[in-house]
Amino acid sequence: MPVLLNLLARQLRRCVIFCDDLTFDAGDSSYKSLKAVLEGGIEGRPETVLFYATSNRRHLMPRDMIENERSTAIHKSEAVEEKVSLSDRFGLWLGFHNCDQETYLAIIHGYADRLSLEIPSDDLRAQALEWSVTRGARSGRVAWQFIQDLAGRLGKRADLE
């Protein structure tokens, strides 16, 4: 990453470094280097470079890895804060939290209307509820996954643009 940033610092154009599904495994200490890069390190992060990352983990590292640090550290809270602090370097967090059934169905109906999916309301409701039960959750993400599947079965594109 430092070599890449050094190369990009010489460019006049703006750049985005995008890392999809960023995670770290137990024993991987490279997160410390990434923290330095995000903060600018010794040389400073180039003004023309943004770093975006996605992750399915809230703190980018498995919970057992954080817990293991807690059990072996002299100052247990500092060890945990070290691992969690990488997540704090990212300013925007998007969560896909569970919602109640009424909200879930409102999301489903909103997507179905927006995509002009032709399905009787009772069928849409029944299929959406069955989908949420088989997935074990009701969230905006689950609703979108259902709508994508439904659109495919109906021979339509699930494109919100």
pLDDT along the chain (161 residues), means of 10: 83 87 71 69 75 67 49 52 60 76 97 96 97 94 95 91 73
Neighbours of 97 (CB within 10 A): 9
Rounded to whole angstroms, the Cα distance separating 95 from 69 reads: 26
- For the chain, the 3-state helix, strand and coil shares in percent, each to the nearest 5, are 50, 5, 40
At residue 139, the pLDDT reads: 93
Tokens linked to 119: 């399905």
Residue with tokens 């925007």: 92
Rounded to whole angstroms, the Cα distance separating 24 from 60 reads: 6
Q: Are 105 and 128 in contact (CB under 8 A)?
A: yes
pLDDT tens by residue, 81-110: 655 565 566 666 667 789 999 999 999 999
At residue 33, the pLDDT reads: 72
Rounded to whole angstroms, the Cα distance separating 113 from 107 reads: 10
